[in-house]
Amino acid sequence: MKIRFQYIIALAIGTLLFACKKDNYDPPGSRVSGKVLYKGEPIGLKFNDVTFELFQYGFGKVGALGQVFDQEGNFNLLLFNGDYKLVIPNGQGPWLPKGTGGKPDSLDLRVNGAGELNLEVTPYYMIRTPQLAAANGKINATFKVEQVVTGVDARAIENVALYVNKTSYVGQGGDFNDGETVLAGGAIVDLNNIALSVNVPTYPTTQNYVYARVGLKIAGLEDRIYSPVVKINL
């Protein structure tokens, strides 16, 4: 038993030394940033909800590096120099996939120092001219909706919604709004004249401002497209 115990200790120490040696590499130092755009316009998303993956070539069969876009559609990565494949999995994002034959959208990129990488997509819809303001204890929003994708690839509007929150992280879901109002897509009479209102939430402490934005749900897709977040003084 004593010999076996010493062997286990020696093996553990050897593994530790190997791990230390293996980890003794320079950390990643190339910062790559960018955003999701449609004809140069940022695409609004829910914070940390739309994901993408990075695979680095040359390291054998390794798992993907899971990443997320922020609510302005931005991303910021710190990477080693090398060749990567960026993949947006099927079903992610409120835009028309570019992949063919059921394959997810992907892009090969070479990282060699800091750089910028903007991803052009084609959203099914865009929220246009959003106007948000407070009046008589309510947050009111008016906006237009532009249908970008038509024809056989078109998708219907499931609903549009106005969200209000005490912080600048605003969207669908209880952690991202303190108040919301939803209008079904079938109830929209005119895409060029949509109006929504929601009561100003009551907070336990005095707060003389809220944040708000509009979101549009596309039939068959999980991720909404959003208007920019607006701070509204009460």
Q: What is the number of other CB atoms lying within 10 angstroms of the CB of residue 27?
A: 7
CATH 3.50.50.60 fits 30-120, yes or no: no
- Tell me what pLDDT residue 158 has: 98
Instruction: Read off the pLDDT of residues 102-136 as tens digits, 9 standing for 90 and up.
Output: 677 888 888 888 888 899 999 999 999 999 999 99
Listed in order, the ranges of the chain carrying CATH 2.60.40.2060 are 125-233
Model confidence at 14: pLDDT above 50:
no
The pTM assigned to this predicted structure is: 0.83
Question: From 3.20.20.70, 3.30.2090.10, 2.60.40.2060, 2.60.120.260, which CATH number describes the 125-233 domain?
Answer: 2.60.40.2060
Instruction: Read off the pLDDT of residues 17-61 as tens digits, 9 standing for 90 and up.
Output: 334 444 555 677 788 899 999 999 999 999 989 999 888 876 655
